[in-house]
Chains A and B, each alone.
Chain A
């Protein structure tokens, strides 16, 4: 539980130790709720005399060394003291009273929304005072020995991170199952909150990018990163999975100027499966931080400016066969049409500016205003480009926010918090252009044999924007053993999509020779969707009670009620489609009011805090993905699907008079009832304190999310043409011509007037179950270590939706009108094993030298062995989706492969299953060495050397095609059944990587100077 609150009226029973005057107090003294809000914490406690009596008049000074900040209060007649509205961070506390030995406690961690308690016993001392007792954090009881503790800025500073954004932090989170991806949920369903405000970036429809794509806020802007797994607190609305909660640095009275200068070299040693070299590049980075007081003790400011260039390898050409890729490039180059490029370096120029002003005119009132701006420009592609004159793809991104909050305490029992925010996110994607033709984008080109995929993705081209307004109030009340919280949230969002083109052409060629002769298949979407925009309002009310019947037990229950007004009246009805099918795309049921109840409990048997049991359960509503609605609003039949078989002489262009091809309109419809994702979760945890510095925890979680979006082609013929010998269903008439075995264009269309009629329906589900064992060991600033292991299982019924964007599956629905049975099964996100370790160590023998590292080892990506065919002109023809069984007559052919791919044994005569094989595990290691340099008094200088991705590791997408359809063979039929026998050959590249997403090794040298 993030916070444990209790009234401070329970007496102490066991604070009798005289040793150094420190006694661990078990949940006796607790802070009033009013002392903390969502983005701040509090620290309270009680001072006792050795005889157990209260000690009045003790001066208690709380300080924060890295900010030159301190504050002093006087303990009241009961010995109690309280510091409120504290920034998250590590504090030191000093207690002094004449006649007693001063006592200092270091390493007290205050977390946002958290209350730390400390109990101190001062021992008498004869004057003069010459000694200061020092104890460590671990001996102080705080309420925060819970899972998912925030990571503080100091902890982040000691660890290396990729500079690409907060997503790198997912490896750090030691007590969560699947990091940022919300325990088996796609990234798109996970959110980022900044200072209690959701930070939402826009993404284009169809893109596979997740929430951080690609406008990162530098970590230097953050004070505290917190991974909240289930969000039992009803104040958190739409986060079905994990989320990152961050609060920004707040200024203090002391003027501070900090500069970090560094340079990153990379990628070094990028091991590409593709031909060509990738030359490393250098990226400078500068971070400047200025903070101080405008009016001492009342108004403070903090400004952070971050400029950097980030480089990472990019590729729009992939192949499981290097020879095939080389031949393809050569053939493409000879005719002047470059479909894309090989490996190259994309450089991203980023500028971020963040500022905040905090005004606290009196102790009971605080006002904070925060603003931020993030600019990103996609720079040049460099080395490895075989045609450097090609116009490059670009991306420009603008993001900004303005947040304000007001916190007012109303006596000792209540507090009011008001938050208001404005934010905007804009993206402008431009696809690359072919040399000499300003309107032609490199088409997606697939070569069946050799597994070559080339070309850009013009689908994302366009301008996309989001603006949002948010207003929320929270009222806290503490009475007796209950802590009540309630509030209202209002929000309004505007979304816009101006796509410049529909999905670009996709060419499929059976072999390199066919590519040279331009014989193959074409599937293209011609025309552009119309511009789409909409605005929606959202309202939520929530109520929560935390009941604390005893100091060692708390039960929290609450509910959140939400309603979002979507512009469903703007949905378009296509008369011709309605006339044909009876389906009216304009009739979509308005999402009803959603109620999300949640409950949690925490119990510390014995009250000593050594053992804590906790659990939680509840329902959480996710958020409606605006990109889906924008697609429906934009795809109203203005795009024509075009399919052609035979000569593709116009490649890389589409226009060619012969053969004529088949053209029909495309549509996108929203399901008759479209709900936001709904997650149900149940979790339990045992936390054990192992000695002074170590905490171990075992957690078990189960989550099921329903109403995930899926996509279906309503205009696919309802009955299959046949099954093949691998058990796969084939839709549309199989024909064989000019070396192709394919579907006759148009023969898989139910209504000939239409091409794909895409239905977005919220009938997807995902389950995640996992057990995590974690150990955390920390001794102040000297050393820290977090290690965890998670075993989990993830299942869903939404293949190819790893990024959260629903993809078409041609087998849906099956011949009987239902989903094929194999669709529900092992998720593409299923990675059963995940080990994480992070830590830092201040070398004892070498003053000023600190080592840090982050390691993440996880199972490789699952994939589905399949038959690569040209039976559908979709990109999945290369990557592969459709699971197979290996027929008896082909077992002898595949059995030699079972030594390296044992998963193939499971395919013999078995039921169709997806994701039965798995790529190699991925081990990522980032390291840092920091050296303190001699600096003038009052300053600190540090030199750091970071090596990112030391092992040059990254996910691989393997070539999952076990067999290739051989157009030179003949299609046969199995007498007495509807089976057809496809002519196939074994794929020599099975299991070889098609893509490798390693960012390469990076080296960064940085100098930090703090004045």
Chain B
């Protein structure tokens, strides 16, 4: 009887324990962020470096973008832009992502101007739209002058002249104490003293680096009026102090010789140190109401120091009539 009792109770105990063991702790008790999300966007060449796609900004084709979970270094997936620059990714875990363009695509010649939004938050429902702007790098003028040629890049500086004031649609910019010549600039409304960003391809002309095929954008109007470097006529003619392509002034020059050539007045002047050629449209004199520039006339002049022909000699190009200072108008 006793043993029967024990066996009976043991059976009940075992049954109970087995029953108890069936329960699973935690099952269904945990939140799971199970939804996935979608991102899409477009990649474009941000020619204006505005961060937003502007009319005329070309699409970037074949750009590989890594979607990296924010706060980690893990690439969750890759997206590739198509011929329209469109890219997309599905089934992404919800959360924040960093969009990282393929460094191999960018190389040294391209850089990201803006990825918006960043981090990109992937939520449920409609996909998150991402804008990826890629553009050429911005380099300092001094770096450009000492750098390689054939590279497309941006230069940033203060405009020394308007596009229309020099032949060849040239614009000269200054950053620090160095100036850069940009030629074949696309139509651009700027005035001297404006802060501008200008894209071009580096080219070496007669030993000096310039930008050609300039494509510019005014960043800010009238930042500061450019101050000309004071030079002697001899120093200006020899581009002394590395002031070639820069904005300079010479004072107290006397006209030694004057001639006209294809509608331009070409005057040889000297302040006593040596001759300097000053070339400007003949219309400037009319605008100043000066009938003619006579030898022996003394005046001040400022302008851009440009190369004269293919040699090393420089000539001074006043940008506007008022760069000819001190000429007496005709009575």
Contact = CB atoms under 8 A, between A and B. Distances in A.
A786 B8 CA distance: 34
Given A599-B9, A978-B73, A550 B16 contact: no
Contacts of A671: 29-31
Interface in A604-620: 605, 615, 617-619
Contacts of B124: 579-582
B205 interface: no
B2 A680 contact: no
Given A619-B20, A719-B72, A706 B121 contact: no
Given A674-B29, A732-B71, A761-B31, A682 B121 contact: no
Interface stretch (A551-559, A886-894, A956-964): A551-559
A751 B74 contact: no
Interface stretch (A203-211, A343-351, A742-750, A984-992): A742-750
Contacts of A617: 13, 16-17, 20
Contact of A751 (B9, B12, B25, B96): B96
Interface in B132-148: none
A34 interface: no
A164 B74 CA distance: 55
A759 B30 CA distance: 9
B91 interface: no
A761 B29 contact: yes
A717 B94 contact: no
Interface in B4-29: 5-6, 8-9, 12-13, 16-17, 19-21, 23, 25-26, 28-29
Interface residues of B, number: 38
A605 B2 contact: yes
B35 interface: yes
Nearest to B1: A550
Interface string B103-143: 00000000000000001010111000000000000000000
B110 to A, nearest CB: 25
Contacts of A761: 26, 29-31
Contact of A615 (B13, B20, B69): B13
Contacts of A531: none
B93 interface: yes
B35 A549 contact: no
A550 B5 contact: yes
Contacts of A618: 16, 20
A597 B16 contact: yes
Contact of A717 (B16, B95, B121): B95
A603 B2 contact: yes
A750 B94 contact: yes
Contacts of B19: 597, 619
Given A553-B5, A731-B71, A669 B31 contact: yes
Given A617-B17, A678-B23, A732-B71, A583 B2 contact: no
B229 interface: no
Interface string A670-695: 01111100101010000000000000
A848 to B, nearest CB: 49
Interface string A550-571: 1011010100000000000000
Contacts of A673: 28-29
Given A550-B1, A720-B72, A751-B96, A583 B31 contact: yes
Contacts of A601: 5-6, 9, 13
* Nearest 10 pairs of A and B residues by beta carbon: A763-B26, A706-B25, A601-B9, A680-B20, A717-B71, A582-B35, A719-B72, A750-B95, A747-B71, A553-B5
16 contacts: A555-B12, A581-B124, A582-B34, A582-B35, A672-B28, A674-B29, A678-B25, A712-B30, A717-B71, A717-B72, A717-B95, A718-B69, A719-B71, A719-B74, A731-B71, A751-B94
Interface of B: 1-2, 5-6, 8-9, 12-13, 16-17, 19-21, 23, 25-26, 28-31, 33-35, 69-74, 93-96, 119, 121, 123-125
Interface of A: 549-550, 552-553, 555, 557, 579-583, 589, 597-599, 601, 603, 605, 615, 617-619, 669, 671-675, 678, 680, 682, 706-707, 712, 714, 717-722, 731-733, 747-753, 759, 761-765, 978
